[in-house]
Amino acid sequence: MKRGIAPTTVERLMREDDFIVSKTSAKGIITYGNPIFIEFSGYSEAELLGSQHNIIRHPDMPRAAFKLAWDTIQAGQEFFGYVKNLAKDGSFYWVFTHISPDFDLRRNIVGYTSVRRCPQRSALAKIEPVYQQMLAAERAAGARDAIAAGTQVLLDLLKQTGMGYEELVFSL
C-alpha cells in the first residue's frame, strides 16, 4: 500500500466517455496526467508529477500482472489489460488500459503513454477471479517466488483456453 493508504470497499465508476491519460519516463516516473487522471487518483497534479506511477497500485493486483505489463512495454510492444487502481482516499477504480512505449528518433524508449477507459463490467467479473487466484498463488509462494507463481496461474489459464494473453483480454 502506498503512503499508508488503507484500501476501502468504495468503488469509483468511470464514466463511459472518460479517458484517463498519463505519461511517464522510461523508469515509470509520472511526467503528465490529464484532469480525469487527477480526478480519479485523488492526488493533486503536484503530488502526481515526479512520483512513480505505482502510486496508484492497488494491493489486490497481482505482481505478476505488472511484470507482464513491464516486460511487454520494455520490449517495445503495446500492452492491454484490466487494472484495479487505488485512489488517495482508499477507494478504487477499474480501468481498461492501453500502454504504449514512446520512442525517440533512434527508436530508443524514452517513456510510456497510458490511456485508460471505462471497462466492461462483464469483463471485470471474469478477470477479477483470475487476479484473485494469481494473488493467492503469489502469497502462498512467498516474496521470492511470488511473480513466478502468479505467472504460472495465468499461463495455466492461457493453456486451458488455448488463447494468447491479448486474445484472452479482448475476449472478455
CATH number of the domain that residue 61 is part of = 3.30.450.20
Q: pLDDT for 142-153, tens place per residue?
A: 999 999 999 999
Q: pLDDT for 86-106, tens place per residue?
A: 999 999 999 999 999 999 999
What residues are paired with 41 via a beta bridge?
none
Domain, as residue range, for 36? 2-171
d(Cα 23, Cα 49) in Å, to the nearest integer?
A: 10
What residues are paired with 22 via a beta bridge?
33, 114
CA 31 to chain centre: 17
> Count of domains in the chain?
1
Whole-prediction pTM:
0.94
pLDDT at 1: 39
